[in-house]
Amino acid sequence: MANYRPLVKTIGSASAVSGELVSANISTTSWGLLLVRGTALFSNTVLPSGAVAVWESTNPTTASPDRITFSNANANYGITCRAGVQLVLKFYSQ
């Protein structure tokens, strides 16, 4: 079964009280997904309740991550990412 990603659709400004019907067609594109699952560790110490940030590139960047999730009390995490690209994962602990 294919995975689908919604495509961005911008709707121009409309008054909330105008009664105007705004028509917008939306569509999707198929993409490959993978589930990244693991445990956040640092020097064999678990990093519980920390943030897990994922960038879909190995280029140095100051941009916001493409995906973000959190590890649980046992430092376990799982996040769905786009397949077919290199990933950089960073962990941020308390």
pLDDT digits (tens, 9 = 90+) for 68-85: 999 999 999 999 888 888
Give the span between the Cα atoms of 77 and 54, in whole angstroms: 12
Inside any domain, residue 44: yes
Inside any domain, residue 6: no
Give the span between the Cα atoms of 72 and 51, in whole angstroms: 9
Query: How many domains are contained in the chain?
Result: 1
Inside any domain, residue 65: yes
pTM, two decimals, is: 0.64
The pLDDT-based confidence of 60 (bands split at 50, 70, 90) is confident
Inside any domain, residue 28: no
**Residue 87, pLDDT score:** 92
Structure tokens at 15: 């008054």
Inside any domain, residue 5: no
Inside any domain, residue 25: no
Inside any domain, residue 1: no
Domain span at residue 50? 33-94
